[in-house]
Amino acid sequence: MGRRSHRLFARWYPQAAASLEDRGLGEQRARLLAGAAGRVLEIGCGHGANFAHYPEAVTELVAVEPEERMRDLARAKAEELGREATVIDGQAEKLPLENDSFDAVVATLVLCSVEDQDRALAEIHRVLKPGGALICLEHVGSANRAIRTGEAVFDAVLWSHVFGGCHTGRDTGAAIDRAGFDTGALSPQRFPGLPFPLKVSPHLVGTARKPA
Ligand SMILES: C[S@@+](CC[C@H](N)C(=O)[O-])C[C@H]1O[C@@H](n2cnc3c(N)ncnc32)[C@H](O)[C@@H]1O
């Protein structure tokens, strides 16, 4: 499956994201990943912003990332942290990995950007062991359906092109549900906590489970 590369985004995102890490995103990542354990796959790892937050209980970390610059930065981050991580080229929609082989899959700020969310989630479901966890922190569309339609239009004409294929209007919770996960432990959240609304403020955070 051919994917449009977003090289320009890959150049500026790591620096832009750094300011958010100190404004609460780093803490969110740490809280979210504290319970990760065993063999873990991270999809769309970007420059490896999650790597510092994986606990000792994670025995193996594999990360899939389609942008070469991001892969280079993620490998450098793993080395800097002294953490073993296998960072491979690939896309969530077509994971070059075996069925039922991971205890957890981590998706942070990436299901907004995959080209085909249903295919990506079907692949995540396939590689997870029964009972395995999809740990996610994703910004999602407004709960209001009419606003979501507006978001979809805005995404198509502008946002997606500037922000590396990102979409603001996706109903990611419904897609995770459709893929066959138990979504009971996912909860809506607003981030960052600003006094004014931001298009990417509504988030879905927590762990969905592949039935055992
Ligand atoms: C906004 S960045 C988030 C990076 C990282 N997950 C984080 O939390 O900072 C989105 C990442 O998803 C990657 N990406 C885009 N499409 C993808 C796909 N189809 N499969 C896997 N990763 C993808 C991008 O290259 C980029 O690194």
Atom of ligand 1 nearest to the CA of 50: 8
Q: What is the 3-state secondary structure (H, E, C) of the chain?
A: CCCCCCHHHHHHHHHHHHHHHHHHHHHHHHHHHCCCCEEEEEECCCCCCCHHHCCCCEEEEEEECCCHHHHHHHHHHHHHHCCCCEEECCECCECCCCCCCEEEEEEECCCCCCCCHHHHHHHHHHHEEEEEEEEEEEECCCCCHHHHHHHHHHHHHHHHHHCCCCCCCCCHHHHHHHCCCECCCEEEEECCCCCCCCCCCEEEEEEEECCC
Q: What is the pTM of this model?
A: 0.92
Paired with 139 in beta bridges are 203
Ligand 1 centroid – CA 26 distance (Å)? 17
Strand 128-139, strand 202-209: pairing: antiparallel
The closest residue, in CA terms, to atom 27 on ligand 1 is 46
Give the start-to-end residue ranges of the domains of the chain.
7-209
Closest ligand 1 atom to residue 67 Cα is 25
Tens-digit pLDDT profile for residues 16-27: 777 788 888 899
Measured in Å, residue 113 CA sits from the centre of ligand 1 at 6
The domain 7-209 belongs to what CATH superfamily?
Vaccinia Virus protein VP39 (3.40.50.150)
Choose one of 47, 105, 113, 205 to mutate for the ligand 1 pocket test, by most ligand atoms within 8 angstroms of C-beta: 113
- Which ligand 1 atom sits closest to the C-alpha of 93? 19
Residue 196 has pLDDT above 60, yes or no: no
Q: How far is CA 147 from CA 65, 87, 166, 168, 195, in A?
A: 31, 37, 17, 11, 19
Question: What's the pLDDT band for 57 if we cut at 50, 70, 90?
Answer: very high
Residue 78 pLDDT: 98
pLDDT reported for residue 124:
98
Mean pLDDT (the chain, rounded): 90
Q: Is 166 exposed, middle or buried (0-12, 13-18, 19+ CB in 10 A)?
A: buried
Show the ligand 1 pocket: residues with CB < 6 angstroms: 3, 13, 17, 43-46, 49-50, 64-67, 70, 91-93, 108-110, 113-115, 164-165
The pLDDT score that the predictor gives to residue 183 is: 96
Q: What is the pLDDT of residues 94-103, one digit of tens each?
A: 999 999 999 9
